[in-house]
Amino acid sequence: MATLHLMVGLPCSGKTTKAKFLEQEYNALLLTTDKWHLKLFGNDAIEKEHDVRHSIIESIIWEVAERVLILGIDVILDFGFWGKEERIHFKKKARELNVNFKIHYMNVPKDELFKRLEERNQNVFSDSFIIPKEYMEEYVKVFQPVDPEELLDE
């Protein structure tokens, strides 16, 4: 039976690095919104339209993921999944598709995130956004850590 894997964590928490490892381990399809977003719209993280564009890409990626899961292939969604409600929504979607569900939570201390952010912004790659420090400070405030009960009954 296929599994829907969610990569959960803030920018610079190691989600994409871990997802690439899991892609090989599970012979899964890895779908990363940032990769699509950067190719379509460039490094627009500070632009007003960024969040709307990102949501549209997530919707399109989910359509692909849904079909691939139905075909019996594992899918790794590298979206971040900052909100508990969003994670619950995708767990419900997995149940509706009769596939397994797994959260991969990248729980990194705030100080380490900011250290990694500084390094990342100095050496930005083509598959990652430049994120101003003040944006990361806001992200940390809105991120909802994974509760232990979210990991139960996967």
Residue closest to 67 by CA, chosen among 23, 97, 88:
97
At the topology level of CATH, where does 3-151 sit? Answer: Rossmann fold (3.40.50)
CB–CB of 36/44 below 8 Å? no
Residue 3 in tokens: 């599994």
Residue 7 in tokens: 């990569």
In this predicted model, what pLDDT tens digit does every residue of 76-87 receive, in sequence order? Answer: 999 999 999 999
Q: How confident is the model at residue 90 (pLDDT cuts 50, 70, 90)?
A: very high
Distance CA 30, CA 17 (A): 11
Domain range annotation of the chain: 3-151
CB–CB of 31/65 below 8 Å? yes
Mean pLDDT, range 102-108, rounded to an integer: 97
In this predicted model, what pLDDT tens digit does every residue of 36-56 receive, in sequence order? Answer: 988 889 888 778 898 899 899
pTM: 0.91
- Is the pLDDT at 154 greater than 60, yes or no? no
